[in-house]
């Protein structure tokens, strides 16, 4: 007979919830984790949006499409001739599905090993540290807990002027499920999701137009990086229209007529598929019963303090449903920190050093402050840049695009921000995160020996360039 009483009940099995459950179990607590994710084929799975319809499947398709692009445009430079390159989208999708299934099944294996009780269905917080669990077959149980962690995640935002129909006008999940390359693809939103999805289908041959309402491209990134990125996206063939506000989308004759306004006035665009990627919002549907004491802010986020505590005693919230960037790794660290705090251990998340990555080609990654933010603060700073064109390893990889950039303070040399656009940027940024976690200086990076020849040398040289001491590029 399954117990209805646990030390910890986690509602949500995504990248914030399942790590919280595993760490709580590692801390010798009895744990249940509830998740209601349902796939298009009717199957149920843990892992949330990240593993089922976001991070993991998108990276699988990004990898497949980049290999196609390299085979078509780069292999010849290596002396490799393939003739006409063909590809099979259905096979790509099958590979992607296999990777997703392996990942989600892996969570169940981890739960079993750690001793977490997995419950597939809907979880609803009740007053008195109780959770109503409704299984997919409709049966209900009430669970009692000493602590409850809410990790309900987020969902795609919908445009009133372009509502989803699941076939022609789709969200980011739908855009990962196409079984054929659309001839003409429209993407609303030039953020991380829009650029990644647009890159996948452009590499495979789609004509892609990206409509971005904001006048600036990637305003959250360093300005120098944004300008470099825009140049490469245009080179790839993405048509990016800034300041374009969509006013309507009408499906007729198996195509979508999109209307929008920009600096030139009213405009129109006809596409075969339209992806709406304007951001995500917290998912809290039917999560909270009356009288729980948990508060929701004006944007729909669950209110928490700096340690993820809600207004209700011993009820915590982590991940996309609370303030801060909607990033899987941010949610994971919050979940682990809360699970440690529940067990009476020291726990803290350093929100100042959460890295961001865009998995396009070239990749884009950053951590800390942009040069514009440091300049606006009034603090004296210095900048070091190193182009990948000066990296022997990058040139050998036929990947010389982009650069590493280090922004450091003049007074104490503290690293304030690191920005990378180029090959394996998402991997390279980890060194910068570690340095900044320990309040490292640019001199610390300068004195750290980097293997040669490696891409990581670019970060080393950028740190040296901040003091005009770079070896492998001109000091400006």
Catalytic residues: 452
Question: What torsion do the CA atoms of 134, 139, 144, 145 make, to the nearest 10 degrees?
Answer: -40
Distance of CA 237 to the CA centre of its chain: 23
**CA distance linking residue 110 with residue 107, whole number of Å:** 5
Other beta carbons within 10 angstroms of residue 403's beta carbon come to 23
**CA distance linking residue 247 with residue 143, whole number of Å:** 47
By the 8 A CB rule, do 420 and 384 touch? no
Q: Tokens 């990058």 belong to which residue?
A: 394
Q: What is the CA radius of gyration of the chain?
A: 24
Residues 6+ apart with CB under 8 A from 416: 368, 369, 374, 379, 381, 407, 408, 409
DSSP 8-state assignment for residue 54: S
**CA distance linking residue 268 with residue 260, whole number of Å:** 6
**CA distance linking residue 47 with residue 332, whole number of Å:** 12
DSSP 8-state assignment for residue 191: S
Of the candidates 200, 234, 230, the one whose C-alpha atom is nearest the C-alpha of residue 215 is 230
């Amino acid at each position: 007979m399954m117990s209805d009483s646990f030390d910890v009940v986690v509602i949500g099995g995504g990248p914030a919830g399942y790590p919280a459950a595993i760490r709580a179990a590692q801390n010798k607590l009895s744990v249940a984790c509830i998740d209601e994710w349902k796939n298009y084929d009717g199957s149920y799975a843990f892992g949330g949006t990240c593993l089922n319809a976001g991070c993991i499947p998108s990276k699988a398709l990004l990898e497949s499409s980049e290999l196609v692009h390299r085979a078509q445009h780069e292999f010849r430079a290596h002396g490799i001739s393939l003739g006409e390159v063909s590809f099979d989208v259905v096979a790509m999708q099958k590979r992607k599905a296999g990777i997703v299934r392996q990942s989600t099944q892996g969570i169940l294996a981890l739960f079993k090993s750690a001793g977490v009780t997995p419950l597939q269905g809907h979880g609803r917080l009740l007053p008195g540290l109780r959770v109503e669990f409704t299984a997919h077959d409709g049966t209900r149980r009430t669970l009692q807990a000493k602590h409850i962690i809410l990790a309900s995640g987020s969902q795609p935002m919908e445009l009133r002027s372009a509502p989803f129909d699941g076939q022609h006008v789709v969200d980011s999940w739908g855009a990962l499920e196409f079984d054929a390359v659309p001839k003409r693809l429209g993407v609303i939103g030039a953020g991380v999701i829009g650029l990644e999805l647009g890159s996948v289908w452009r590499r495979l041959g789609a004509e892609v137009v990206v409509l971005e309402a904001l006048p600036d491209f990637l305003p959250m990134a360093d300005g120098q990086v944004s300008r470099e990125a825009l140049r490469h996206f245009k080179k790839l063939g993405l048509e990016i229209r800034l300041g374009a506000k969509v006013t309507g989308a009408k499906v007729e004759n198996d195509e979508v007529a999109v209307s929008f306004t920009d600096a030139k006035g009213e405009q129109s665009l006809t596409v075969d598929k339209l992806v709406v990627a304007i951001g995500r919002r917290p998912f809290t549907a039917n999560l909270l019963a009356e009288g729980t004491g948990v508060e929701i802010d004006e944007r729909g986020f669950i209110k928490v303090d700096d340690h993820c505590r809600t207004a209700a005693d011993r009820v915590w919230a982590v991940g996309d449903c609370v303030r801060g960037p909607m990033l899987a790794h941010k949610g994971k660290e919050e979940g682990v920190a809360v699970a440690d705090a529940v067990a009476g251990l020291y726990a803290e998340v350093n929100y100042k050093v959460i890295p961001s990555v865009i998995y396009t080609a070239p990749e884009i990654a950053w951590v800390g402050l942009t040069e514009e933010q440091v300049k606006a603060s009034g603090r004296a700073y210095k900048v070091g840049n190193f182009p990948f064109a000066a990296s022997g390893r990058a040139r050998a990889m036929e990947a010389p695009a982009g650069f590493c950039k280090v922004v450091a303070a003049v007074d104490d040399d503290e690293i304030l921000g690191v920005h990378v656009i180029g090959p394996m940027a998402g991997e390279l940024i980890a060194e910068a995160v570690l340095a900044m976690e320990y309040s490292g200086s640019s001199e610390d990076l300068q004195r750290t020996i980097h293997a040669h020849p490696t891409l990581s040398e670019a970060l080393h040289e950028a740190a040296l360039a901040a003091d005009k001491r770079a070896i492998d590029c001109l000091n400006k």
